[in-house]
Copies of this chain bind each other. A is one copy, B any other.
């Protein structure tokens, strides 16, 4: 049953109890500012195993912008509603739904377009119920960045407590997730960030999240923290920048070390020197969380991952990225801001539909 507070965005339409959702839709690829349109879409009452979700919050991720631009390998069928992850509240269920109930908070378990909408219909098995103890910003942003950090820490190298993880773009949302998971799991997170004036403020923020050390790109070039034994040489490095920054990470890798690339902010390729590749037995790998979700849809590892992340979030040991909640109607300003910062300010814009 629709609650009065939801009425402004979900006008009941006669006896069918369908709602009018507001959604950010696009018909052609292009810059979000140019192609996104706020439209109204009729959403029918859920039938059988369907669930009607009132979306509460949905982030504007760099990947969402890239998909809209048509720069991402995933090409949705157009026209489509933008956005890929959210937290929502169940406001109606079909008569065959067994595992979910009205009022529960849910996140999507499928890689699907359409999160930038006030209401949407899912099949019961496409949703995961989450405790209301988990903050909206945390739940809304779990699917891409924390899952990326989680898988990169789990799937490439067997780390032992005290082992070092070295990563650039360390104030990005993935970087923030890496710090927190390293702290939770006993690894040392050494983050590299670009040289900047406010480096001390950033260092403090990142250390509060669990970073063992934050170095600028200048500092990592001359550091002796690995030579001195202050930190173990990293067996695992994460790269979202490319170019010289990636080369610098690789230079510090221990024998048999793996560098996982999950982004390419600099738009420069990674230069791999042949000698260390061969004689230090290094490996250079890539990772795309969207692929991982698709391939491991039914695997217990995936259930376990959500369980682990949500537990840390409930306990307050994992917080969402620094963010600004913005109304759906202000999507143009938000998209512009998200674009101009390219999502690497450490501040994420989250569409707030909780009204």
Residues on A close to B: CB < 8 A? 73, 242, 261-264, 267, 269-288, 291
Contact = CB atoms under 8 A, between A and B. Distances in A.
B274 A271 contact: no
A80 B167 CA distance: 43
Q: Which residue of A271, A280, A285 has the most chain B CB atoms within 10 A of its CB atom? A: A285
A273 B264 CA distance: 9
A270 B262 contact: no
Contacts of A288: 278-279, 281
A100 B119 CA distance: 80
B274 A284 contact: no
Given A267-B274, A269-B271, A277-B284, 5 more contacts: A262-B278, A270-B274, A279-B288, A281-B285, A284-B284
B274 A281 contact: no
Contacts of A286: 274, 276-283
A242 B284 contact: no
A285 B277 contact: yes
A284 B274 CA distance: 11
8 contacts: A261-B277, A262-B278, A269-B271, A269-B273, A269-B274, A271-B271, A278-B286, A279-B288
